[in-house]
């Protein structure tokens, strides 16, 4: 199994308190053998001035998913996982009010780096953003 830490949604979501993730309303909703899912509202916290989902909010969702996932893959008493590089392609606009769902899957789990692919979908399961995050293990 990919995960080294027990997967408890309540514990993982409690870690969001006082973070950007909490400010943006990000909530982890599901773990699978090799994936992690989180949602984020499309509302006044996450839109640009024209009412569509802000690309930076999509990137924040993607980095939150990938960074948390990496930390669940290592012994956190010995290692910390931090974002090293991220990119995103914004494919489709999402208007408020709505919710988007991000699904993170590993492309590479190494000793010093992890690479995650995060796909973000709208409420009708259309792809709205695809991101790749490289995480450094320190």
Q: What is the token pair recorded at 46? A: 């996450």
In the chain, the domains with their CATH numbers are: 9-137 (3.10.129.10)
Confidence check: pLDDT of 1 > 80: no
- 47-99 residue pLDDT tens: 999 999 999 999 999 999 999 999 999 999 999 999 999 999 999 999 999 99
Question: How far is residue 20's CA from residue 23's CA, in Å, rounded to a whole number?
Answer: 5
Catalytic residues: 63
């Amino acid at each position: 199994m990919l995960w080294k830490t027990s997967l408890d949604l309540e514990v993982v979501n409690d870690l969001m308190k006082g973070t950007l993730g909490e400010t943006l309303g990000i909530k982890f909703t599901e773990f699978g053998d090799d994936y992690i899912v989180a949602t984020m509202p499309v509302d006044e916290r996450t839109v640009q001035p024209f009412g569509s989902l802000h690309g930076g909010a999509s990137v924040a969702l993607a980095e939150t998913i990938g960074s948390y996932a990496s930390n669940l893959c290592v012994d956190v008493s010995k290692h910390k996982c931090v974002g090293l590089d991220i990119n995103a392609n914004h494919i489709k606009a999402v208007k408020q009010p709505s919710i988007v769902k991000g699904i993170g899957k590993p492309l590479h789990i190494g000793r010093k780096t992890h690479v995650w692919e995060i796909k973000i979908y709208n409420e009708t399961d259309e792809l709205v953003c695809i991101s790749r995050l490289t995480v450094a293990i320190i």
